[in-house]
Amino acid sequence: MKISDADRDPSSIKKDNIDTIKIVDNFFEKELFSKIQNHISTKIYYTPAYFTGTTEKTKENYYGDRWLFVNDKKFLKLFVDQVAKKFKIKPKTICFTSAIDLRNLDHFKPHTDSGVAKINILIMLKGPSAVTNGTVFYTDKELDIHVGFKENRAVLFPSARFHSQHASKIPNLKRYTATIFIQDYEEEC
């Protein structure tokens, strides 16, 4: 597996045969998951991040606080190995923007990641379990699918699919997630 050092030109990313959303609960073994939760909440320094292509640092453009996996390739490998095991794919190239995010869930921001990768793996790491703080997906510009937040749940979906964090009316509701942006991979038999 290699890590790319730049976002991809969207025209260079070929369409895939993955057009479904796949969900895996109990993504990591219990003991390892507990260590990961401790690591992400006590050992990592997060920096503010804004949506790509935005020039103003406003609340509407604020993505959340982010820590990039390129800062610890051994930690990234732990996640990528689990992706291969649980989703039966062999990631070949990972985008350098793959990260762990700490987000305040105060607004919807529908977007795609088609300029970044072919498929996304979102791993729900720490936060309260609820449908209202998970991830939503859109079909024909209409909110269509809710995937509730549950610790240790992983969601694979096409990067070209419109999606958003689910906005919550609960003030200051935050969650930790990891996103692995896979630019190239092989499917295992």
Q: Which residue has the tokens 């992706």?
A: 83
pLDDT in tens, 128-139: 887 778 888 998
Phi and psi of 53, rounded to 5°? 90, -5
Residues 6+ apart with CB under 8 A from 188: 84, 88, 89, 90
Contact 180, 118 (CB under 8 A): no
Which helix (DSSP H) or strand (DSSP E) does residue 84 occupy? helix 73-87
CATH code for the domain of 39: 2.60.120.620
- Is residue 32 classed as helix, strand or coil in its secondary structure? helix
Which helix (DSSP H) or strand (DSSP E) does residue 130 occupy? strand 130-139
Please, which residues bridge with residue 101 across strands? 66, 177
Structural domain tally of the chain? 1
Rounded-to-integer distance, Cα 181 and Cα 79, Å:
12
Domain limits for position 79: 2-187
Instruction: Indicate the pTM of the whole model.
Output: 0.87
pLDDT band at residue 15 using 50, 70 and 90 as cut-offs = very low
pLDDT band at residue 14 using 50, 70 and 90 as cut-offs = very low
Given a cut of 70, whether residue 17 has pLDDT beyond it is no
- For residue 107 the two structure tokens come to 């607004």
